[in-house]
Structure 1
């Protein structure tokens, strides 16, 4: 219709041309130009000097000038043999403003207007403005705002210019008052609408927006309705009609759908036809519908996808599997045929990397499991993408395939990445409730000069500790992925400076050096083996440090602990991301052994298992469990004769004679429980055994108060056994679009620390629940918890914290 109207308009405009007797044009004069140059007009004019002029030529010329949209009026006259063209220029847009819009950003509207020529500096076209008005109204209709009004105001300015002001009155979103499904008998409305995005208002509508009508959402819900029936045997189910009506006030919506349920069908036979590049028995293992079963469209689609995936893994990158169901309405059966078209088997000619301005190609290539010159495999492509994401160098990784021009059996695989900073030079201030203010300075690079090597040097200082650390790791010492790392550490702690009593009062000073190897076993599993030397000086404080700890040091017979530590760890990592996984998990087992040359011979084992499950609608379930246990071995400390002398000295001084603790686990290696990243809702490291300062008595009932101590609270000392369990549900909040930047979760934590294995009791496990925010802020990782302990023991109230947070990078 628009085209016909335009032709009618052009025909009427052409009447403005004079009825010409044919003549030869000696010259062309253009009158009425002010902003547009004559040269521009001549470029569009289909006639020139020396041409024969006639009515038909005049009409064609007028039509060409109108189509430029530069002019609102065009006339042609004859002055002798001179052709005179009189034009009226359209005004230019001097100013374009948009106001009143909230749902659609002004920048997005301006881009859309500019794409159709409605922008400052462009020629004003009233028809284009009318079209824009209708398009904006349509966009707001799609958002459920049917009372919207878009009012353009055009103000004439001097020098043939206009100012356009687009006033938008969005109005309120129309709410769905009723959704009626007519014709359903086998299932209730609640059953078939359970997974609908659209719905009537309820207490969660403020979040889900389910009561706001959307044409796209309705289309999706109708598809879900059809799938619901066809997945349950109704092979001839149909939706006869759909009606959407709006109340006169344009605030209420009513939706009705008439359905025809049909009958339940069963599968009579399943045939595999087409080109069989694999044994039929192998393909039939991926067919999840069997003769005699109820027809299930979802299972058929799953079968076709599984067969295509299998074929894609052996080089048939463009395989097609098409289901052809043949219905017998008399017998109510379906004869199903899956027609397989594998296409040409292809291999990968080249793997091309794009977007890696810093990272070397070979660093990315060594993570690729799809090799050049080998058959294309979708499984190895997918695995390669995950390995690249797990490096942490890239914000985004996309992998695409493209046929090689002129070849039917070759493809190029292109890996497009968007790099993100893998290093930092930081001078920062952080804060933790148990550490106080943290001053830190660090230089770290996880992708040194694009080589994939990691190097870091840093220092940190807080209320109770000072630490300096240097680390280097080369993940590819050998071509098969064996890595080597070195670590040098100096740390000094003084737990007496912790005001809240999260640690027993003593101080340590430690120097350590270690080297380790990372050894890949499979794509998902790796070993880590290392050895290190450390010297740790432990200083107790008379009258402050619990006497039990002082007694232990006396029995060891050395306040400087020398250790030769061997470590061995195994990890299996199937997570699908680095910062914010949504599926997969980790299994790890780590052993640490102080070798026989050490002052105290002990071993520690730590096992951890966690997993992520996407459970639909953006929700992700995370389960995590940790068990740590340590024990001494061999003979430690002073000899039996020296121990007898020590007891005699205690007796002579009138102090309690110590028990034999020479084979107890060293307290400075204890596990701790509770805190912002542990059992949330309790102060850091406060769960587990607690001793009274000075006397060293065990606090009654693991309580927090001591009756005969310098302090009025007991001091946590940790234990040789730790148990931790976490269930966490990550929530899809609309204002957190990028889960790699921030995530919010609801959690339940349980755990505790115990003196030894025999001390464990499930009755004393503490538990808490609450909400947690993890944010990769500009100043470093930030964690904020709101936690409520709900399983406690007497005395725990002293160590409870409802709000916990930590921010700033820790090194």
Structure 2
């Protein structure tokens, strides 16, 4: 302001020095312009041709041109009746550079500087630069960095331009050496400071940075302190004073907050006034404060939010609820009145979309539960946002409302999305300790041509498997969301190169399925498929029990007609990395009559995510799988007796067991590995047998020095508890997640063999990272519940990349 005043004074002096007799301006000429156009000057000049110019008018004109901040000097002259204005333009900013800033992002600083008027292409103003310097210092002071220095450097360039460089030396944040709450008697320091973001240095400060002083953090902590007391009845609680002292070296902070606790108050009455819209009895069910209870500000705020939410769901998008507590200090009671102002009921005129450059509007619109022409509903808006987030096409989804100009009862809803890649083309090499080196090629698109359809074709080659698959799914075969999908697969597998029992398969299959929505969170899946699986067992290498099974069914090629029925209840709030909600699923696959072996498999899973504050998320998961045969599977008692006789004739020492009702071994469940019970090699938990059919010893060894081979079972139980831990400085949990986990589980021949004493368990930490080479999982696990024969199958570090997780 002083500089502006000086400029105005200078303009006044210049005008006084230029004294002339008043005259009528016949023309105006401007000298000295290079970057600014004459038309721009004429727009600001309060003098025009034909005006009578006096000394006062000349002074006013010079002030007006100075105040544009375009010029560093303005002079006026006269040639006859022509007004001559001589100007010196201020330079333009050709380049603006920030250097040394780490605590505040460059893009945030650049945005702030532009708002102040300092950005590339703008006119350079030394006063604005001085203001920027002081503002940056203030921002760093708020972050506790009192040693910061901000030094601007201005370099003159050709064509009346300058380069501005702002050098920032942030220094180190001041540490909190003392934080004292004075005047608390009802609660201990550790109780009222629980949840504070500010603290003195402790063993976790290297991670939480809670010992670094910040004015914003301290203000938030004092608000938490007030909430702590007022939620417990102290309605007249107050913070009397706050004193913050800094050490001479600006490296240590000393904070004292003096409080007045007051007294505990009870609620004497609760009134609902205003335009309630709904019956008072209905509205009172949304009030969580009752007469006779201890005053609780948190409950009052929750009541206000509940009332506004209900009104917003029936069109009152701008409803207000104002709680007014009246304290009786003698009786220590509170008379609470809640004023309800619903405002104008509004309906949605139009829903507009922005940011979807690849995805068609119809793909977004069909996920919306807020319809055009209907009353506004906040619940429908919230549900629409969740549905869009769960598509997996968008990194960010924002939905906002805005009153239509000139109306009070119409809003336009704006849906703004930030798209992310929904498809990939990969040619690469992966590795896992289970599969060894993995060569893969795949093309997938979850948003095919922006239609929302998904398509993928993939091929993979590993140490034990070669496979190719083709999948297509249209989620909206009908307008009400019935989807249809097709899947074709071929695989050739040699389990002798894994920890499975020694045999190989060659399988091909085709299936089609329908996805049928039932409610917003529930859906059915109905499928029908056909498959052919050729199984090769090797005498002397494959376990005898598998050879016996194949002899009894009498076929090396297994043909199956499979029907599938599944149900999902999905309340998760995201696609890649949910933070709340869960999934309940159950599915049954049935090998229908006419198949070589008739059986059914039931798989169920229940999981849930709970945000528990400060970026931590708790995840619990439980899975159960069970399979069983039905029917005679084409083998009569007579046929079995003949097979038993021929087997005894070939090997009198071998006793053939009737296995007609045993679950087919190629459909067995397995446990252990990266995807379920970490800390054990993949698929090694559960029943294990020796090649000759004998039982392994307690250490898992067979005669001849061989290890027992896992063969899986018809029953599986798995459980996981996982705590996702926020990574400092990482806001996007879709990029990477770190967790501490506990896994429990095992597989059994049948549910009757289940015993809690035989469940295996492990604990450890895991990193999930969307790396440039593909999704990466690294887990370090320590088994802590094992059996004597598990020693050969434990694995501390497990990782895999090149496949989805």
| TM-score range normalised by the length of the shorter chain | over 0.9
What 5-or-longer segments of structure 1 have no aligned partner? none
The answer to which of 28-37 and 717-726 deviates more is 28-37
Residue of structure 2 equivalent to 1:127: 127
> 2:458–2:469: 8 Å Cα contact kept in structure 1?
yes
Change (3 A) 1:77 1:748: same
Counterpart of 1:629 in structure 2 is 626
Deviation larger for 35-44 or 625-634: 35-44
Q: Is the 8 A contact 1:23 1:81 kept in 2?
A: no
- Per the normalisation by structure 1, the TM-score is 0.92
Q: Is contact 2:22–2:55 with CA below 8 Å preserved after alignment? A: no
| Residues 599 and 84 (structure 1), Cα distance of their counterparts in 2 relative to 1, 3 Å cut | closer
Matched ranges for 1:586-597 at <5 A: 586-597=583-594
Aligned to 2:537: 540
Map Cα deviations across residues 686-726 of structure 1 (whole Å, 9 max, x no partner).
11111223x1323223x4432326xx322111111101000
Structure 1 stretch 16-25 or stretch 125-134: which is displaced more?
16-25
Partner residue in 1 for 2:518: 521
What SS does the aligned partner of 2:562 have? strand
Q: Is residue 2:686 matched to residue 1:688?
A: yes
Which has the higher mean CA deviation after the structures are superposed, 305-314 or 112-121?
112-121
Query: Per the alignment, in what secondary structure is the counterpart of residue 338 of structure 2?
Result: strand
Cα gap change, 1:418 to 1:783, in 2 (>3 Å)? same
> Match of 2:734?
740
1:640-695 deviation digits (Å, cap 9, x = unpaired): 334334334443344522322222111111000011111111111111111223x1
Q: Is the 8 A contact 1:20 1:53 kept in 2?
A: no
**Using the alignment, how far apart are the partners of 1:317 and 1:31 within structure 2?**
57
- Name the residue aligned to 1:410: 410
Q: Which residue of 691, 696, 707 maps to 1:713? A: 707
User: Secondary structure of 1:302's match?
Assistant: helix
CA–CA separation in structure 1 for the residues paired with 2:518 and 2:75? 84
| Alpha-carbon distance, 1:155 to partner | 5.6
- Aligned-partner SS, 2:704: coil
Q: Matches of 2:339 and 2:35 in 1, distance apart?
A: 65
- Return the alpha-carbon distance in structure 1 between the equivalents of residues 538 and 676 of structure 2: 29
Shift in alpha-carbon separation, 1:260–1:11, aligned structure 2, 3 A: same
- Which runs of structure 2 are paired with 1:762-781 in the superposition (5 Å)? 762-781=756-775
Residues 764, 782 of structure 2: 8 Å contact kept: yes
Aligned partner (choices 563, 571, 579) of residue 568 of structure 2: 571
Q: CA deviation at 1:368?
A: 2.4
Measured after TM superposition, the shift of residue 601 of structure 1 is 1.9
The RMSD of aligned alpha carbons is: 2.7
- In terms of mean alpha carbon deviation, does 197-206 or 552-561 score higher? 552-561
For each residue in 1:728-769, what CA deviation from the matched residue of structure 2 results, as whole angstroms up to 9, or x when unmatched?
111111233211232221111010111111211111111111
Secondary structure of residue in 2 paired with 1:698: coil
In structure 1, the partner of 2:641 is: 644
**Conserved 8 A contact 1:723-1:752:** yes
Aligned to 2:293: 293
Name the stretch that deviates more: 607-616 or 65-74: 65-74
Match of 1:727 in 2: 721
Q: How does 1:388-537 map onto structure 2 within 5 Å?
A: 388-498=388-498, 502-537=499-534
TM-score normalised to the size of structure 2? 0.93
Deviation track 1:81-123 (CA, whole Å, cap 9, x = no partner) reads 7767665555565665543333234455455445545456655
How far residue 560 of structure 1 moved from its aligned partner, in angstroms, is 1.4
Residues 233 and 265 of structure 2 are in contact (CA less than 8 Å); yes or no, is this contact kept in structure 1? yes
Q: What's 1:674 paired with?
A: 672
Partner of 1:660: 658
What SS class does the counterpart of residue 795 from structure 1 fall into?
helix
Q: How many angstroms does 1:128 deviate by?
A: 2.4
Measured in 2, the distance between the counterparts of 1:483 and 1:165 equals: 58
* Cα distance in 2 for residues equivalent to 1:406 and 1:124: 40
Query: CA 1:625–1:93 in structure 2 vs 1: closer, same or farther (change >3 Å)?
Result: closer
Separation in 2, partners of 1:674, 1:804 = 11
Q: Distance in 1 between matches of 2:398 and 2:340?
A: 28
Contact 1:719 1:754 in 2 (8 A): yes
* Distance in 1 between residues matched to 2:480 and 2:164, nearest whole Å: 66
Relative to structure 1, the CA distance from residue 519 to residue 161 in structure 2 (aligned partners, 3 Å threshold; closer, same or farther) is: closer
How far the C-alpha of 1:522 sits from its partner, in A, is 1.6
Structure 1 window deviating more from structure 2 (156-165 vs 684-693): it is: 156-165
Q: In the alignment, which residue of structure 1 is the partner of 2:225?
A: 225
Q: What residue number does 2:550 align with? A: 553
Aligned residue number for residue 786 of structure 2: 792
Q: Do the aligned partners of 1:637 and 1:662 also contact (CA within 8 Å) in 2?
A: no
Stretches of structure 2 that go unaligned for 5 or more consecutive residues are none
DSSP 3-state at the match of 2:323? strand
Cα distance between partner residues in 2 of 1:763 and 1:459: 41
3-state DSSP class of the match of 2:177? strand
Distance change in 2, residues 1:209/1:519 (3 Å): same
Partner of residue 327, structure 2: 327
Rounded Cα–Cα distance in structure 2 between residues aligned with 1:160 and 1:540: 86
In the alignment, the residues of structure 2 paired with residue 562 and residue 524 of structure 1 have an alpha-carbon distance, to the nearest angstrom, of: 36
- Which SS does the other structure have where 2:206 is aligned? helix
Shift of 1:621: 0.6
Cα 1:350–1:154 shift into 2, 3 Å = closer
SS in structure 2 at match of 1:708: helix
Q: Distance in 2 between matches of 1:469 and 1:95?
A: 54
- Provide the rounded CA distance (Å) in 1 between the counterparts of 2:32 and 2:422: 63
After superposition, where does 1:145-156 map in structure 2 within 5 Å? 145-154=145-154
Q: Deviations over 1:608-654 (max 9, x none)?
A: 11111111111111100001111222223643334334334443344
Change (3 A) 1:402 1:134: closer
Distance of aligned partners of 1:64 and 1:495 in 2 relative to their CA distance in 1, 3 Å threshold: same
Q: Quick check: 1:20 aligned with 2:19?
A: yes
Are the equivalent residues in 1 in contact too, given 2:246–2:254 (CA < 8 A)? yes
Deviates more, 1:22-31 or 1:385-394: 22-31
Q: What's the secondary structure of 1:536's corresponding residue?
A: strand
Match of 1:600 among 597, 600, 610: 597
Contact 1:265 1:334 in 2 (8 A): yes
Inter-CA distance 624–33: structure 2 relative to 1 (3 Å threshold)? closer
Single out whichever of 183-192 and 592-601 deviates more from structure 2: 592-601
CA distance in 1, matches of 2:42, 2:482: 72
**Paired residues of 1:779 and 1:809 also in contact (CA < 8 A):** no
CA contact 1:233–1:294 (8 Å) conserved in 2: yes
Q: Which residue of 1 aligns with 2:265?
A: 265
**Deviation sequence 1:377-406 (CA, Å, 0-9, x none):** 222222222222222222222222233344
Alpha-carbon shift at residue 587 of structure 1 (Å): 1.0
> Secondary structure, in 3 states, of the residue corresponding to 2:62?
helix
- Secondary structure of the residue that 1:66 maps to in structure 2? helix
**Which stretch shows the higher mean deviation, 248-257 or 360-369?**
360-369
